[in-house]
Amino acid sequence: MEQLMIYPYHRGVEAVVRHQDMLTDWKLAGLVSPKGWGLGNDTVVSGAKKYIVETEYETVLKRCDGVWFVEDGTLKLPPALLERRLRQAIAGGKQIIYTRKRDPEAYENAVRMIPETLRILPVDTEIPDPSGRAVTYCMDIHTPVVAVMGLEENTEKLEVQLALRQAFQKRGYRVLSVSSGMGTEMLGMYSFPDFMLQPGIGETEKIIRYNHRIAALEKREEPELIIAGIPGGALPFNRYNHNGYGMLQYEILEALPVDYLVLCLPWQPDLHKRVQEIGMDIKNKYQIVPGAYHLAAITQDTIDLVSEKEREFLTLDRDFIRRKIKEENDPHLLDVTDGKSCDSLTEDIINCLSEQE
């Protein structure tokens, strides 16, 4: 298998490292983060393997066959530095996987820069799209749907999607995954469709187009389960941090008949009370009750909060999260990164879907 570097590494990519066995034809050779991001020498665990985050791009480049340029996390990579790293990879004859699609213009410029002989295209994702003809209704989806949604951004939604996909596949299920992120074709998933984030398309058209996209994939792949990731945050925090008022979540939940919802939460004080309140808010807003809550290893920084307009989140120790879950003793609250908890969630989903038949 060929050796792969991930750049620029950040904690949002940790789920990919933990589930690297889902990468096709590639083996991780290194994780490289810019020096100013403060992640150098961090340890990332993947099963029995441990990876140390490095900051010397040129050193790791020498020992890899390809570079996967991923989207930024909380911190942004300066365009000049990105271009320099990309040119270094091209000059070294490295195969390049470029999935930084958030900025369409920058993406097109980068792809034009990469020679076709070095460009690794993702798996085929050309799906029939009804945008070119008059479509005024949603189609029936016949496969059970599990949706993964976050109360906030960066609440480990991709981790939950990958863990569930892997758990169901190990049980012999044919799983269709439409990710909450871009560039997940490397993991056997379909990326979140670009048109859902385009401002020039109305809500009704987005709902219908997303529904038809899932229906086309369902017809093509004949899955036994669909896992749909939903980007962004589901509820407004305040008038400044409103998470788009949950419009994207509303559109997807209108487009899909969701049978089971996993809601990802940051840790916060008064957890038991807050989980009950959040569950009620989700029910009132989206007409669906979460079947389970994944507690992400982040929390809002309330000590250094300078204004209600700006919020920062802190990374928490995973053992702390698991202790808090144990203290709550709530069967619906779990940490999907724990194998036993993931198995428990998988069995709960299977039982709930069986009861609905």
Give 270-314 pLDDT, tens digit per residue: 888 889 899 999 999 999 999 999 999 988 876 655 556 666 778
pLDDT at residue number 132: 52
Residues in the chain with pLDDT < 70? 121-135, 238, 302-311, 357
pLDDT at residue number 123: 47
> What is the rounded distance in angstroms from the CA atom of residue 99 to the CA atom of residue 190?
12
CATH topology for the 130-356 domain: Rossmann fold (3.40.50)
> What is the rounded distance in angstroms from the CA atom of residue 335 to the CA atom of residue 260?
17
Contacts for 285 with CB less than 8 Å, ≥ 6 apart:
234, 235, 246, 250
Which residue type does 299 have?
T
Distances (CA, A) of 304 to 130, 265, 274, 310: 48, 21, 22, 10
DSSP alpha helix (H) spans, 92-129: 104-113
pLDDT at residue number 246: 78
> What is the rounded distance in angstroms from the CA atom of residue 240 to the CA atom of residue 310?
8
Which residue type does 218 have?
E
What residue ranges do the domains of the chain occupy?
A: 2-113, 130-356
Contacts for 50 with CB less than 8 Å, ≥ 6 apart:
43, 44
> What is the rounded distance in angstroms from the CA atom of residue 333 to the CA atom of residue 327?
11
* Both structure tokens of 210: 């997303």
pLDDT at residue number 345: 97
pLDDT at residue number 102: 79
Domain 2-113 matches domain 130-356 at the CATH topology level: yes
Which pLDDT tens digit goes with each residue over 32-64?
999 989 889 998 888 778 899 999 999 999 999
> What is the rounded distance in angstroms from the CA atom of residue 338 to the CA atom of residue 336?
5
pLDDT at residue number 167: 96
> What is the rounded distance in angstroms from the CA atom of residue 206 to the CA atom of residue 254?
10
pLDDT at residue number 136: 81
Closest residue by Cα to residue 255 from 195, 301, 213: 213
CATH topology for the 2-113 domain: Rossmann fold (3.40.50)
**What pTM, to 2 d.p., does this model score?**
0.88
